[in-house]
A and B are shown apart, each in its own frame.
Chain A
Amino acid sequence: MKIKQVNTAFLVTLGVSIVVFVYLVFLGYDDIKTLKDIVKIIASILFPIPLLFFVRFLLIEHFLPKNSDAYKRKHQKPATLLLILTVIVCVFSMQFLEWISGQKLEDHLIFAHLINSTSISSYVLNYVLYNNLRVNGILSGVLLSLAIHVFFLTA
């Protein structure tokens, strides 16, 4: 049965993503000064995990990827459209929010971590368990736009 492997993969990806995040947090940022910052960052990294368990609990069926050619062909186009649409919408909304509030995302680490960990965890969950191509498009769009925003659009 593949179910055991899939369950193991679920746990392993959760564990790996936590380790990677903790590593990144303590590697890259010098502005962690107090206990409060650490608590906030840990909390923002842990945020998606209870939600993921809840989603998994609700949507227990359809968890084995149906990787058939017909399924892929059917969803190729809408998934690509959703990807492009999400990238555009996310980049513009982030620019708009920064312009409106006059603050940079980089100054608010907590929010960056929150968006990042939530979308990466749901991306991994979707990729491993549900393989819903449309959702894959949306989540890839969110991650791409976050990367574009942080790398290219913030001076």
Chain B
Amino acid sequence: MNPIMQPPKPRLNANKRELLFTFQSIIVTSLLAFTAIAFFFHFNLRIEKGIKVIFAPFLSVVPLLFILSILRDLRKGFKEGNYSKDEILKFCLITLGITALFTGITYLLSKIDALEILLAAIMAILSIVFFSRSKIKDILGMSIITGIAEGVIVYMIFLF
């Protein structure tokens, strides 16, 4: 789906927000993949047990699919109008908090010395991303995934 070749119909602000949200989640996904690859090469991770690599994703993907199937949507969707100043401030602070949290979590990820555990951890974070992508379709979800992306980037710039 190429948004430049086939522009969708972003008539409503809510649709535009949804599109932005989708892009943001794509960015987070690629950043996490990038993190895994960078750590893999930089720390010369080894695979301790081959079978674990195959089963590592299931640990987080299966609960995710289960939760997604039984839970109703937590939010109604994106807002059409503008956000108020208080809301903007609140969600910027939430984003900052999650950024700090994920800087720490990425630091912990860099301490992992086996590939299969790193993969499992990355898959767990990705599951959180997809969970907020599909169920918290709201500014809160946007705050969360922006925080995750910025946390990973901040770690890469300043601490890596």
**A residues less than 8 Å from B135 (CB atoms):** none
Tell me whether A58 and B38 are in contact in the complex, defined as CB-CB below 8 angstroms, given that A11-B4, A12-B4, A50-B146 are known contacts. Answer: no
A 50-66 contacts with B by CB, 8 A: 50-51, 53-54, 56-61
Assess whether A58 is in contact with B91, with CB atoms less than 8 Å apart: yes
Q: How many residues of B contact A (CB 8 A)?
A: 38
- Cβ of A40 within 8 Å of any chain B Cβ, yes or no, is yes
Q: B36-57, CB under 8 A of A: which get 1 and which 0? A: 0010011000000000000000
Min CB gap B92→A, angstroms: 8
Q: Are A47 and B7 in contact (CB under 8 A)?
A: no
A-B residue pairs in contact (CB < 8 Å), sample of 24: A3-B16, A4-B10, A7-B7, A8-B7, A11-B3, A36-B160, A39-B38, A39-B42, A42-B34, A43-B160, A46-B27, A47-B150, A49-B27, A50-B24, A50-B27, A50-B146, A50-B149, A53-B23, A53-B24, A53-B146, A56-B20, A57-B139, A57-B142, A61-B13
| Distance in angstroms between the alpha carbons of A35 and B37 in the assembled complex | 11
A44–chain B nearest beta-carbon distance, Å: 5
